Amino acid sequence: MDKSATSHFIKTTAATLGFSFCGIAKADFLVEEAPRLEEWLHRGYQGKMNYLENYFDKRLDPRLLVDGAKSIISVGYNYFPQQDLAQDESFKIAKYAYGEDYHHVVKDKLKELLQAIQMEVGEVGGRVFVDSAPVLERPWALRAGNGWIGKNSLLLNKQMGSFFFLAELIIDLELEYDSPVKDYCGTCTACMDACPTEAIPEPYVVDGSKCISYFTIELKEAIPEEVKGKFENWIFGCDICQDVCPWNRFSKPNTEARFQPNGELKSFTKKDWQEITEEVFQKVFSKSAVKRTKWSGLKRNIEFVLTHPKK
């Protein structure tokens, strides 16, 4: 098979597996990203996420992660829910955490894609990455023509907004490469204006140490007093900058059975959240990304929001 035919096969197979989009970029050094990442870390925007300071060289060059890497296949997997469970009067969790942990769901699909390529082409070496290694997902998705990076630093896609997971398959096979698309954010600053903790200090730059997702998931110690009254009932992650993005009016509900919310979660009241026991937590979130924060972390977040309601 020639490069064009193989690339076409990969994209049609990805679509068959349920991926919303698939683009291909040449595995190379991310020249433009190097100074940006260095500056971002220098400003301390990683907060206590010290792991982001590790593997600086590998983050910028995937060839250091996969021997002989030639192509990066960048895919997106829709997680926009049938029903938005985030009600203003109750506690809220990010939409991506409604169902089964995406790491497992998307990784399974990517492994199938790699196997399909190997069956079609022959011996192909590669690795799948689902938010689990030092791979800069958004710059690769940008290079692969899957969308543009918005002012909230998330990848935006003209057809479906931003409620999707990004993942990569890095292989040692030369393919036909896609070109980046233009930025369609224009003069819009909806995401910047809506962020209650002012975590987007300038367009295309997010101060991770001020993000509600950081406070409710990544931060293991006490939540700082300076953000009290600013969480708007978010207790695991936050969707504010996505919810206000005009491009997300094109979001369509996902069809992935494993992303459907647990029946109990759908009927959770504010009282249920406040009284959640460790036993209930383990039962409802046994396969969910919410497990990352542990029962103790979720209780801390609920307590913080209760003690410091919106001003």
Within 10 A of 195 (CB to CB), how many other CB atoms are there?
22
* 131 and 224 share one domain: no
Last residue of a domain, one of 117, 138, 171: 171
Would you say residue 39 lies in a domain? yes
* 83 and 152 share one domain: yes
Last residue of a domain, one of 171, 202, 225: 171
Would you say residue 86 lies in a domain? yes
Query: Which tens digits make up the pLDDT trace of 25-56?
Result: 999 999 999 999 999 999 999 999 988 888 89
* 218 and 113 share one domain: no
To the nearest 10 degrees (0 to 180), the angle between helices 102-121 and 3-16 is 140
Give this prediction's pTM. Answer: 0.94
Instruction: Tell me, rounded to whole angstroms, the distance of Cα 144 from its chain centroid.
Output: 17
**Rounded distance between C-alpha atoms, residue 87 and residue 77, angstroms:** 25
306: buried, middle or exposed (CB in 10 Å: 19+, 13-18, 0-12)? middle
Binned at pLDDT 50, 70 and 90, residue 263 comes out as: confident
Query: What residue numbers bound the domain in which 71 lies?
Result: 3-171
Would you say residue 256 lies in a domain? no
Which residues pair with residue 169 across a beta bridge?
Answer: 73, 128
Q: Is 131 a residue of the active site?
A: yes
Would you say residue 181 lies in a domain? no
CB 20 within 8 Å of CB 164? yes
* 11 and 158 share one domain: yes
* 203 and 156 share one domain: no
pLDDT given for residue 133 in this prediction: 82
* 16 and 146 share one domain: yes
Would you say residue 278 lies in a domain? yes
Would you say residue 176 lies in a domain? no
Percent of the chain predicted with pLDDT > 90: 90
* 157 and 43 share one domain: yes
Would you say residue 200 lies in a domain? yes
**Rounded distance between C-alpha atoms, residue 72 and residue 127, angstroms:** 10
Would you say residue 183 lies in a domain? no
* Of 112, 113, 102, residue with least CA distance to 166: 102
Q: How far is CA 150 from CA 21, 74, 164, 254, in A?
A: 18, 17, 14, 22
* 97 and 15 share one domain: yes
Residue 189 CB contacts under 8 Å (≥ 6 apart), including other chains: 151, 203
* 48 and 136 share one domain: yes
Helix (H) / strand (E) element for 23: namely strand 21-26
Query: Which tens digits make up the pLDDT trace of 161-204?
Result: 999 999 999 999 999 999 999 999 999 999 999 999 999 999 99
CB 281 within 8 Å of CB 298? yes
pLDDT given for residue 239 in this prediction: 98
* Of 189, 185, 234, residue with least CA distance to 211: 234
* 132 and 221 share one domain: no
Q: Could you give the number of structural domains in the chain?
A: 2
Within 10 A of 127 (CB to CB), how many other CB atoms are there?
18
* 91 and 200 share one domain: no
Helix (H) / strand (E) element for 156: namely strand 155-156
Q: In a 3-state reduction of DSSP, which class is residue 271? A: helix
* 194 and 124 share one domain: no
Is the per-residue pLDDT at 311 higher than 80?
A: no
Within 10 A of 256 (CB to CB), how many other CB atoms are there?
17
From 61, 131, 172, 272, active-site residue: 131
Instruction: Tell me, rounded to whole angstroms, the distance of Cα 19 from its chain centroid.
Output: 15
**Rounded distance between C-alpha atoms, residue 199 and residue 259, angstroms:** 28
